[in-house]
A and B are shown apart, each in its own frame.
Chain A
Amino acid sequence: MTETMPIRLKVNGEAVSALVEPRQHLADFLRLHLQLTGTHVGCEHGVCGACTVRMNGDIVRGCLTLAVQADGAEIETIEGLSESGEIADIQAAFHRRNALQCGFCTPGMLVTTSELLACIDRVPTREEVRSYLSGNYCRCTGYQAIVDAIVEVAVARRSGSDT
C-alpha cells in the first residue's frame, strides 16, 4: 500500500474528510469512499464525460482530477443536484423526450447541461447545445432527443423568467 493523505472537502453540501492515496482520481473517490455511484467511470482518460461532476461551481472530469486536488473544494454530484431539485426541470424534460436509454452517460450529460443553461443568457441554438455536449459521449440515443430536451428547458426557463 502506498501512503495516504488527509483531505477535507464538501460533497453535496456535507463536510467530508478522508485519507486517500494521491493517485486516486476524484471519480473513484466519490464512488469508492462515499458510495456516490451516480458518477460513472466510462473511459478514465477524459474523453467520454460520464464522470463529469461540479467542482467549485465548474464542471470537471472526475477521472482527470485527483481526489487530493479536491481538498477544500466543494463538489456536487448527480446525487446532490437531483436531491436539491436544481436540475429537476432538466430531468423532467429528459424523461419526456426519452433523452436517455441505458442511462450510463446521463449523470454526466445532466451535469454538463446544468452548466450550459447557467452560462448562456438566452435560448441556445441546437448547434450551440450540440457544441456544449461535444465532450459527452452517448452511444444509445444519437443525441437528438438530448438536444430537444435541453432546448425545451431553455425555452421554458426563458419564458418563466420573462413573466
Chain B
Amino acid sequence: MKPGAFGYRRAESAEDAVRLFLEVGEGAQYLAGGQSLMATLNFRVSEAGTLIDLTRIESLKGIEQRGNAIHIGALTTHASVARSSLVRKRLPLIAEAYVHVAHPAIRNRGTIGGSIALGDPASEMPACMLALDAVIHANGPAGKRSIPIDDFYLGLYETALEEGELLTGIEIPLPAEGARHGFEEIARRHGDYAMAGLAVMTTGRRARMAYFAISDRALRSTAAEDAFVSGASPAECAEVATREMYVFGDLNASENMKRHLAGVLMRRVLLSLDGGASA
C-alpha cells in the first residue's frame, strides 16, 4: 500500500507556502501533520502531485493569549494543545475533547489546524471550534483573511478555504465568566472516530451546541440552542435536536441511530452542565 509518486517542497513560512503552492500549480497540496492525508495517499484514494510540507513553519506553532482571545497556531500538534496549561485553564472544552482524539503517536504529529482544515465530519475539533465561536485565520493567493467559524464548514470535507488558501491559525474568544462547557462522544472504541458527539458552550442564556459525526460536517443545532435559550429542559432540547438535525449515516451507525444518539448526547451534555462544574 505505497502512495503513488509525488513531489515534495518544504515551506519556511505561510507566505512561502502560498508562493510554493502557486509555483507548483496543478497538483499542489498542503501537508500539515499528515495523519489523515498520508493514510489516504497510502491507500491511493487520493493522489498528490506535489506536497508542500508545512510542518517546519515555526511561526505557525504555539498557543498564546492576545487580549480577550487565545490564538493557536495551525501547526500546533494535538499533543501540544492538549498539554497546554493555558488551554486546560481557559478552554477546558478543548482539553476535555482531546481525551477522545486518536492515540498518542497520532496526537504527537497531527495538528489542530490540519484537523480543522480537513473538516472530517467525525472529528472533534471542528465541533469544538463551532461551540467556542472561533475565528479561522487564513492566508492565500488573495492575501490574509479571517473567517468566522459559522461560515467555515460548507459540506462533506468542504470548507470556505479557497484554492491555495492555508489555514494559519485559530482565534478563540475567551469564554465569559460563568461560562459552562459540556462535551461527550460515543465511539465503539476509545480514540476511534465517533458514532456521534456533541460540544456545548453556554454563557448565561446564550448557547452554542455543535454536533460531530452526526452529519456531513460539524454542525450546530440552532434549534436546540434556541430551545435552551428559551428555557427548555434538557429532554426538550434533545427532542428538538433529534427532530431538526440534518443526519448522515455511516458504517457504524445508520441515520436513525445517529438521530437517536443526537438526542441522547444533548440530554446527557445538558444534564452534565446543570450538575457539572462551571468553566
A and B touch in the complex (CB under 8 A): yes
Enumerate chain A interface residues (CB-CB to B < 8 A): 2-3, 5, 21-25, 28, 44-46, 49, 52, 58-61, 63-66, 68-69, 112, 115-116, 131-132, 134-136
CB closest residue in chain B, given A131: B190
Q: Which residue of A lies closest to B79 (CB)?
A: A58
Knowing that A23-B41, A52-B105 touch, tell me 11 more A-B residue pairs with CB under 8 angstroms.
Answer: A24-B2, A25-B42, A44-B42, A46-B106, A59-B105, A60-B105, A66-B34, A116-B104, A132-B104, A134-B191, A135-B105
The CA of A34 and the CA of B174, in the complex, are separated in Å by 49
Q: List 24 A-B contacts (CB under 8 A).
A: A21-B5, A22-B6, A22-B51, A23-B2, A45-B39, A45-B42, A46-B39, A49-B103, A52-B105, A58-B108, A59-B104, A59-B108, A60-B105, A61-B105, A64-B34, A64-B39, A66-B38, A69-B34, A69-B53, A131-B190, A135-B105, A135-B106, A135-B191, A136-B103
Ordered nearest first, which 7 A-B pairs have the shortest CB separation?
A: A135-B103, A22-B8, A2-B5, A45-B39, A58-B108, A64-B38, A44-B1
With a CB–CB cut-off of 8 A, which chain A residues contact B79? Answer: 58
Measured CB to CB, the closest approach of chain A to B123, in angstroms, equals 14
Measured between beta carbons, the chain B residues less than 8 angstroms from A3 are 7
Instruction: Summarize A's interface: helix, strand, loop or mixed.
Output: mixed
B109 at the interface (CB under 8 A from A): yes
B4 and chain A: residue at smallest CB distance: A23
B6-55 residues at the A interface, CB under 8 angstroms: 6-8, 34-35, 38-39, 41-43, 51, 53, 55
Contact B39 A115 (CB under 8 A): no
Q: Is residue B147 contacting chain A, with contact meaning CB distance below 8 A?
A: no
CB <8 Å contact, A49 and B105: yes
B-side interface mostly: loop
Contacts of A24 in B (CB 8 A): 2
CA distance A44 to B44 in the complex (A): 12
Residue B102 interfacial (CB < 8 Å): yes
Q: Are B7 and A22 touching (Cβ within 8 A)?
A: yes
Q: How large is the interface on B (under 10, 10 to 19, 20 to 34, 35 or more residues)?
A: 20 to 34
Minimum CB–CB distance from A113 to chain B (whole Å) comes to 11
Instruction: Establish whether residues A135 and B104, one from each chain, have CB atoms under 8 Å apart when the complex forms.
Output: yes
Given contacts A60-B109, A131-B190, contact A65 B104 (CB under 8 A): no
Q: In this complex, what residue of B is CB-closest to A62? A: B105
In the complex, chain B residues 175-201 whose Cβ is within 8 Å of any chain A Cβ? 189-191
Choice from A2, A23, A61, A131 contacting B106 with Cβ under 8 Å: A61
B249 at the interface (CB under 8 A from A): no
> Is B173 interfacial (CB-CB < 8 Å)?
no
B105:A66 contact, CB within 8 angstroms:
no
The B60-84 residues at the A interface (CB cut-off 8 A) are: 79
What is the chain A residue whose CB lies nearest that of B53? A69
**How far, in angstroms, from A22 to B48 measured CA to CA in the complex?**
11
Complex interface: chain B residues within 8 A of A25 (CB)? 38, 42
> Known interface pairs A46-B38, A65-B109. Does A115 touch B7 (Cβ–Cβ under 8 Å)?
no
CA A131 to CA B101, docked complex, whole Å: 11
B3 at the A interface (CB under 8 A): yes
The closest CB in chain B to the CB of A49 belongs to: B105
Given contacts A46-B35, A49-B105, A58-B108, contact A69 B55 (CB under 8 A): yes
Chain A nearest Cβ from B52, distance in angstroms: 11
| Min CB gap A36→B, angstroms | 17
